[in-house]
Amino acid sequence: APASPEFRAAGVVGWEPPTRELLGPARFALDAYNRGRAAGTRAVLGTVRGRVRRAGQGSLYSLEATLEELSCKDPMVCQLPVSKKTLLCSFEVLEELGKHMLLRQDCGPVDIKVTDVRNETFNSVLPLSSREPFPKEFSVKIASAFKNFVTTYNRTYESKEEAQWRLAVFTRNMVLAQKIQALDRGTAQYGVTKFSDLTEEEFRTIYLNPLLQEQSGKKMRLAKAVGDP
C-alpha cells in the first residue's frame, strides 16, 4: 500500500525526524552495517526516512538513511580536525513477529558540498557520488522536464521539501535513463515515464515481485513441444 503521509515528504536535508516506527529497523540496519567494525570506527545514524508495507504479520521497511563515519579510521594517527564521511544508504528490513531481517543494504558516499538546503537549485539537493555538479544548462532542461512530468502525470507533493526531493530523484533517474539508453543494443528509447520520480528502491518495492527470484514454487510438468507426437 502507498506510504502514509508521515512516511513521505522531505528531501535529503529536509527530512523530518524519523518516526518511532522507523527507528527500530533503522537501528537494526545500522547494527548490521557496523558488524565487525572496531569501536570508534562505527558509523552513527544521521537522518532516516522511509516507508513501510505490511502484509499479514510482517512489515517491510524501505529506508533511506544517512550514516556518519570518521574518514580516518585510526584515532591515534588522525590529523585534526577529523572530517566526517557521510554515506547515503538504502536498506530493506523485514520485520516479522518482532524479529528483524536485513534484506538489502546499499551504501554510497554523499557529497555534502552539494546538499546545502539554502541553495534551491536542484543541484543543491542531489546526493552525488561524482564531485562535479551538473552544468547549469542541464539543470534548466531537467527542471523543465520535471515540470512537464508533474503536469502530465498529475503529481502532487505534500510539501516543498518533498517536491525538491522528487526533483532530485527525477534528475538522478534521467541520468540513469541516459546510461541505460547508451548501453542498450536494441532500438528501445528510455526517458521520462510515470515512474520517473521514484527511487529505484521505491520502484522495486512497490511494483516488482521479489518472490520470483526464488523460483521455488510448485514444480510443473514440462509441456510437450508443439508438433511432438
Partner 1 sequence: APPEWDWRRKGAVTKVKNQGMCGSCWAFSVTGNVEGQWFLNRGTLLSLSEQELLDCDKVDKACMGGLPSSAYSAIKNLGGLETEDDYSYQGHMEACSFSAKKAKVYINDSVELSKNEQKLAAWVAVKGPISIAINAFGMQFYRHGIAHPLRPLCSPWFIDHAMLVVGYGNRSDIPFWAIKNSWGTDWGEEGYYYLHRGSGSCGVNVMASSAVVD
Binding residues (CB under 8 A) for partner 1: these are 1-2, 53, 55, 58, 60, 153, 173, 176-177, 180, 183-196, 198, 200, 203-223, 225-227
**Distance of closest approach, residue 57 Cβ to partner 1, in angstroms:** 12
The three three-digit cell numbers of residue 227, written as one number:
508438433
Q: By C-beta, is 30 or 126 nearer to partner 1?
A: 126
DSSP character string of 40-105: TS--EEEEEEEEEEEETTEEEEEEEEEEEEES-S-TTTPPSSPPEEEEEEEEEEEEETTEEEEEEE
Closest CA to 210 of 130, 77, 103: 103
Residue number with CB closer to partner 1 (38 or 225): 225
Question: HEC states along 31-58?
Answer: HHHHCCCCCCCCCEEEEEEEEEEEECCE
- Find the shortest distance in angstroms from Cβ 204 to partner 1: 7
* Closer to partner 1 by Cβ: residue 117 or 176: 176
Whose Cβ is closer to partner 1: residue 76's or residue 212's? 212
| CB 215, min distance to partner 1, A | 7
Task: Specify the long-range contacts of residues 223-226, CB closer than 8 Å, at least 24 apart.
Answer: none
Closest separation in Å from C-beta 59 to partner 1 = 11
Give the separation between CA 31 and CA 34, rounded to whole angstroms. 5
C-alpha to C-alpha distance for 28 and 100, rounded to whole angstroms: 7
**Distance of closest approach, residue 168 Cβ to partner 1, in angstroms:** 16
- Cβ proximity to partner 1: between 69 and 162 the closer is 162
